[in-house]
Chains A and B, each alone.
Chain A
Amino acid sequence: MSDEIDPGLMRLFAQAREPLPAQTFLEEVTRGLRRAQRLRLLWSAATLAAIAIPALLLTPFVVHGSLSLAQFATQRFGALPAALMMPTSWLLMMLASVWLLYRARALAR
């Protein structure tokens, strides 16, 4: 080792090292960890609430907006939007998607 180390000081540090009783310390750490776990749980619940509550409040407006848009599209473009929502149209679109993926080799391993 190229680091300069004084063997006398090294011996002194080794002598000063004494065994420490662990029981009380471990109990304290366990208490601290439980507190931290509770805080993390509270924080997760608060974050979830901060996302879920606005989402619940906004849902009626979003649904209403989507329905209005669908109604507008039906009036504006006639039978096309209704035709796109038929099961036969879904099936054709799915087949077209699979063909596109196959052509793009996205399904190849």
Chain B
Amino acid sequence: MTARLPRQALGSAEEAAVVALALGGDDTAYGELVRRRQEQIRQLLRRLCRDAALADDLAQQTFVQGWRRIHSLKAPGAFGAWLRKLAVNTWLQHARAPGSRLERSLEHPPPDETGEPTLAEQLDLDGALAQLPVPARMCIVLAYAEHMSHREISAVTALPLGTVKSHIARGAARLRELLRSYGEQHVG
């Protein structure tokens, strides 16, 4: 049986220690990991999806999958990268499904529930990203939003390093082209 930490101690514990507890079957520790990582995973999926509600659905799926598969995690220190890979795979599975909400959302972007455009919409970044092909969009988001190196992206996406470099170079050029109307003072 794993030792359980009080909630306050969990909140201030090192992530690797919390991951080790979650690996031992402590669901409260896994809940703490969800609390810590939810912002990062939701942001990543929002950039990839363009649809905030869909991004949150996929983030929820990612965390539930993570709970089911946490025993496959090799080292507690690799939890962040492992979870990110899980999120990207969840998104890819959804993107490849025929008639997915993602594909529909790209054709007809859903209006924001509040009626207020989000900051990303104001910058027109998500609209421009949505016009990139799926692999290029994925590589661009991982490089620019997640600050991952080309090699890390290659490992996460299982794409060859040369392909990743090419997607990022071409994708960034296309993004700059699409965002030109936004203004030279912000891009390039």
Which A positions have Cβ atoms within 8 angstroms of B? Answer: 1, 3-6, 8-13, 15-20, 22, 25-26, 28-30, 32-33, 36-37, 40
Contact = CB atoms under 8 A, between A and B. Distances in A.
A30 B35 CA distance: 10
A10 B188 CA distance: 10
Given A15-B119, A25-B42, A5 B144 contact: yes
A5 B143 contact: yes
Interface residues of B, number: 39
B149 interface: yes
Nearest to A39: B68
21 contacts: A1-B149, A3-B143, A3-B149, A4-B169, A6-B144, A8-B186, A13-B125, A15-B123, A19-B39, A25-B42, A25-B56, A25-B59, A28-B60, A29-B38, A29-B59, A29-B63, A29-B64, A32-B63, A32-B64, A33-B30, A33-B63
Contacts, number: 92
Contacts of A11: 186
A33 B27 contact: yes
